[in-house]
Amino acid sequence: MPPPRHPYFRGLSPTLHISHRGGSLLAPENTLAAFRMAVERYHTQVLETDVHLTRDGELVVAHDDTLERCTNGVGHVADYSLAELQRLDAGHTFTPDGGATFPFRGQGVHMPSLRELLRAFPALRFNIEVKPDVPGIEEAFFQVLREENALERSCVGSELDSVGERLARAMPDACHFYPRDALASFVLTVRAGEQPPEDARYTVLDMPLTFGGVRLVDEALLSAVDTHGKWLNVWTVDDPWEMRQLISDGVGGIMTDRPDLLRRILDEHPKPR
């Protein structure tokens, strides 16, 4: 009998609607404008996001470590205070039509702090990646989650194994997703027909659907995930056919930049009994 799932998943069942960076093809990624759209229009169950540490030790919601792609700023996130970052226009570069229009430019869209995001959605679940490997970021992150009463509704981790391990030590009772090397070990061992290594620190496999042209999510992997009491979320899926296939396969969650498409398809697809 598989071990019980982490309390983070209490009341949840496959397939979860997860908005990647809030739905970055519909609104400026990792902004309250995107997150609100995902929650209010498309009833997302989980918001996926990323955090960086600012110059003054605050956690700001952003994917890149530089500012040019998503704002009208230049340079590195870590070189600015939170107040300085929040004066930038986080809607400046977003365009839904290849540069013909910029509907969020000059509309007051800013980079939210992690505290601001957690307070905006006090009952929602989050999947949060800590991006940079800087000393003490795990403690700063833990402090925010604890003070905002968000530990039980946050699945946390990092692509970097060194950071993921520090997060697991700092908050052992939280839900953690596998970092890169530990995830690769689990997946490759299953693909070789062997039992994956057991690692109680990590509960969730957040992973791509394919790698190097090879589809990674298959019956063997899904079976191993269930057997070991884990959970599998697939990123970043924007194709309707793939969404339908993954729902039929019973995958735990789908991360998408098109929360509108995923909501429509989930609403069309009956939940397995």
Residue 178, domain member (yes or no): yes
Averaged pLDDT for residues 17-44: 98
Amino acid 65: pLDDT: 98
Strand partners, 18: 46, 255
Is position 110 annotated as part of the catalytic site?
A: no
- Residue 149's CATH number: 3.20.20.190
Tokens describing residue 168 = 């697991």
pLDDT band at residue 1 using 50, 70 and 90 as cut-offs: low
Sign of CA dihedral 253, 257, 260, 265: negative
Residue 87, domain member (yes or no): no
- The dihedrals phi and psi of 235, each to the nearest 5 degrees, come to -125, 165
Amino acid 273: pLDDT: 46
Kindly report whether the global pTM for this prediction surpasses the value 0.85: yes
Q: Tell whether the model's pLDDT for residue 117 goes beyond 90.
A: yes
Residue 37, domain member (yes or no): yes
CA distance 133 to 52: 10
Cβ contacts of 196 within 8 Å, gap of 6 or more: 185, 186, 187, 189, 190, 224, 228
Amino acid 269: pLDDT: 76
Range of the domain at 20: 7-69+112-268
Closest by CA to 235, choosing from 226, 224, 225, 246, is 246
Q: Tell whether the model's pLDDT for residue 26 goes beyond 90.
A: yes
Residue 133, domain member (yes or no): yes
Is position 6 annotated as part of the catalytic site?
A: no
Residue 2, domain member (yes or no): no
Residue 80, domain member (yes or no): no
Residue 228, domain member (yes or no): yes
Residue 65, domain member (yes or no): yes
Averaged pLDDT for residues 57-62: 98
Query: Over the stretch 148-188, which tens digit does the pLDDT of each residue have?
Result: 999 999 999 999 999 999 999 999 999 999 999 999 999 99
Least confident stretch, 1-15, 190-204, 214-228: 1-15
Our count of domains for the chain comes to 1
The active-site residue, picked from 6, 17, 52, 63, is 63
Amino acid 270: pLDDT: 66
CA distance 58 to 115: 9
The active-site residue, picked from 20, 52, 176, 228, is 20
